[in-house]
Amino acid sequence: MVSGLINENPIVYEIKERRDVRAYSSNTDELSVDAIDQLEVFDILIAHHIRDIKDPEHPYSLEQLKVLTEDSVEVDDTKSHVRVTFTPTVEHCSMATIIGLCVRVKLMRSLPPRYKIDIRVAPGTHATEAAVNKQLNDKERVAAALENPNLVEMVDECLSPSFE
Amino acid sequence: MDLMEKNMELIEVQKLEGHTDRVWNAAWNPVSPILASCSGDNTVRIWEQSSLSRSWSCKTVLEETHTRTVRSCSWSPSGKLLATASFDGTTAIWEDLGDEFECISTLEGHENEVKSVSWNASGSYLATCSRDKSVWIWEVLGGNEYDCASVLNGHTQDVKMVLWHPTMDVLFSCSYDNTIKVWWSEDDDGDYQCVQTLDESTNGHSSTVWAISFNAAGDKMVTCSDDLTLKIWRADISMMHSGEGYAPWTHVCTLSGYHDRTIFSTHWSSDDIIASGAGDDAIGLFVESKQHDSVNGPSFNLLLKKEKAHEMDINSVQWSPSKENMLLASASDDGMVKIWQLETIP
């Protein structure tokens, strides 16, 4: 592990007001409106799950660092498919695989088992994009990594709730 | 038998429950009605078919040996030994003593997770492969002794599977580096070299290759990949049998558009049906087309696709060696092993 931080001075953004999820679930109007709302609800739910993940290096959330935004998440509930695209703060970020792993673990723990999860770095934002994406989406590699106690500890630290 | 002209269906015979984590691999014993399965729960389960009721039940659980996921298992040609490869870096050899199984040897040497293990046709060699990018060949000596005969380097990434050719001592490996490598000892002196690499330039896969399987004759091979395709290859092995040197493998055709998630496993049955198992929770069955196109060569058609065969990714599909019926075992992330029968619907 490198002794210095990968990104010494991250840009921290103001985060948007959170929409109230419950306002959607009580909507009982026409089917078509419901269908769209269901997707939106799902989007938000997923975003809620992952936006609070802490950056491995700083006491800020991935949302605050704009590593993840609402647009990061694409959901197709009928196909049980979700894709998350995240933007590392620096191009050579070696934390990219840890961040990706954290997002995957969070989703695995939050979504029904039928869900297929794809994680990738935003195109053009990382020097070894293809290599990072390949590792993040090889489930055998992910399974082996999650049997490593040091890595699991790091992931659990990033996923633990922070009390402000 | 032209299967394409009949109405076929894959019927679920039985669901084998017991593993408490994903099941990575299932392997049929070559001589008895026994099935081995291995899992992320660090155990191997031995399932036996009752001769009376014909139903399968768990005869024994091999536990407290591997300390991490057991990734694959393979029976020796005699059916008396079971080799199990684990993320703990070791390969265990178990002997079937009737009432129970005993771990008679542990092969160590790989630097990290062992992904696959394979016995050669005569049972005189074992091969293993690992994320450490190497393939190891082990010699089976008497008295439960196993000796490392060769360490083969060449793959540039994690090696996913090794498989010995069904009739010759030629070893095949496939990897995260997107290639398939062929290893051969020309002088039969145990000095194995990489004699061929099947990569994108030779019509090979464009992403991780997860599995390899041969037809019974050993002159055709199927591989499957994260690139969502299955590829069929052939070689003139009669040339090799007659000592005329190495016969290279060439691409025959690519089966694409049948799975939309990584294809983790493929197996070629003794009556020429290719099974595939993928991350889309489906099992695909393919047969060679009767129309032989002399220009484009043989082609394969989808016989049937069993959607939602499991509730999660399918990691392994294996045809039973039994000549009686067309039984298929599948293993999944959902923790289940399922036994299927391929039947003609009237």
Residues of B in contact with A80 (CB under 8 A): none
List Cα–Cα distances, A144 to B69, B87, B173, in angstroms.
8, 7, 20
Minimum CA–CA partner of A133 in chain B? B207
Strand order in the sheet with B193-198: B159-164, B171-175, B180-184, B193-198
The candidate with the shortest Cα–Cα distance to B316, out of B35, B59, B33, is: B35
pLDDT value at position B267?
98
Q: Is the pLDDT of residue B57 over 80?
A: yes
pLDDT value at position B335?
98
Residue contact A144–B113, C-beta within 8 A: yes
Q: Are B10 and B283 in contact (CB under 8 A)?
A: yes
B interface toward A at CB cutoff 8 Å?
22, 40, 68-69, 71, 87, 112-113, 115, 131, 158, 160, 176, 207-208, 226, 261-262, 279, 311-313, 333-334
Q: Which of A76, A117, A138, A140 is the mutation pick for testing B, counting most B CBs within 10 A? A: A140
- Closest partner residue to A113 among B115, B262, B312, by Cβ? B312
Residue contact B176–A134, C-beta within 8 A: yes
Residue contact A138–B226, C-beta within 8 A: yes
What tens digit of pLDDT does each residue of B248-297 get?
999 999 999 999 999 999 999 999 999 999 999 999 999 998 776 667 67
Count CB atoms within 10 A of the CB of residue B52.
6
CB interface of A with B, residues 13-72, below 8 Å = none
Partners of residue B234 on adjacent β-strands: B220, B250
List Cα–Cα distances, A46 to A73, B94, B96, B174, B259, in angstroms.
8, 45, 49, 36, 26
Residue contact B68–A116, C-beta within 8 A: no
Residue contact B311–A147, C-beta within 8 A: no
Q: Is the pLDDT of residue B88 over 50?
A: yes
Helix segments in B173-220, DSSP class H: none
pLDDT value at position B149?
95
Helices then strands, counting H and E runs in chain A, come out as 6, 3
What tens digit of pLDDT does each residue of A98-151 get?
889 998 998 898 888 999 999 999 998 888 999 999 999 999 999 999 999 999
CB interface of A with B, residues 99-118, below 8 Å = 113-114, 116
More confident residue, B59 or A28: B59
Q: Are B219 and B237 in contact (CB under 8 A)?
A: yes
Residues of B in contact with A138 (CB under 8 A): 176, 208, 226
ipTM of the complex: 0.95
Across B153-165, average pLDDT: 98
A128 phi/psi in degrees, rounded to 5 = -120, 50
What tens digit of pLDDT does each residue of A19-74 get?
544 443 344 433 343 444 455 655 665 666 667 777 777 777 777 777 887 778 88
**Residue B58: burial class (beta carbons within 10 Å; 0-12, 13-18, 19+):** middle
What tens digit of pLDDT does each residue of B96-142 get?
999 899 999 999 999 999 999 999 999 999 999 999 999 999 999 98
The full DSSP string for B2-38 is -GGGS-EEEEEEEEE---SS-EEEEEE-SSSSEEEEE
Residue contact A144–B131, C-beta within 8 A: yes
What tens digit of pLDDT does each residue of B30-50 get?
999 999 999 999 999 999 999
Minimum CA–CA partner of A147 in chain B? B68
C-alpha angle A116-A120-A121 in degrees, rounded to nearest 5: 160
Q: Is the pLDDT of residue B186 over 80?
A: yes
